[in-house]
Homo-oligomer: A and B are copies of this chain.
Amino acid sequence: MPERSQASLLGLHISPSSGIPIYRQLMDQIIRLVASEILPVGSELPSVRNLAKQLTVNPMTISKAYSALEMQGVLTRVRGKGMIISENTSPQLDLTQRVEQLDNTIAKLALEARQLNVSKAQLLEYLDKKIPKN
């Protein structure tokens, strides 16, 4: 039978002093594992109790991370068994709607550039160099 993931293998870890909530730290790490396909579709995650024990936190904290990821469509719950990685979901928003969610960060970037006397052209050129292709 296929092995359920060990937390140690997945490298899941928390930094209690970081100020970032534990459940959110875990969500971020799992999202990266899924995005990089280290966790492929269909693979199982560590059980809440197992992971909670290794990280010395409450199982409900793990459950909260898993549940949030389930709502985001990243994971699927299998009754009595555990959580597995979902099929890839296609984005439900159209391009315009998605791109608008970047407005705050873009405004911040534009402001910082202005304060540094970096022109629009210089900024766009740098962005072109800096952003990875896809």
Q: Which residues of A contact B (CB under 8 A)?
A: 28, 31-32, 34-36, 73-74, 86, 88-91, 93, 95, 98-99, 101-120, 122-124, 126-128, 130-134
Contacts and interface: CB of A to CB of B under 8 A. Distances in A.
A127 B89 CA distance: 21
A122 B98 CA distance: 11
Contact of A32 (B31, B107, B128, B133): B107
B114 A35 contact: yes
Nearest to A125: B99
Given A28-B104, A111-B31, A111-B35, A124 B128 contact: yes
A107 B86 CA distance: 16
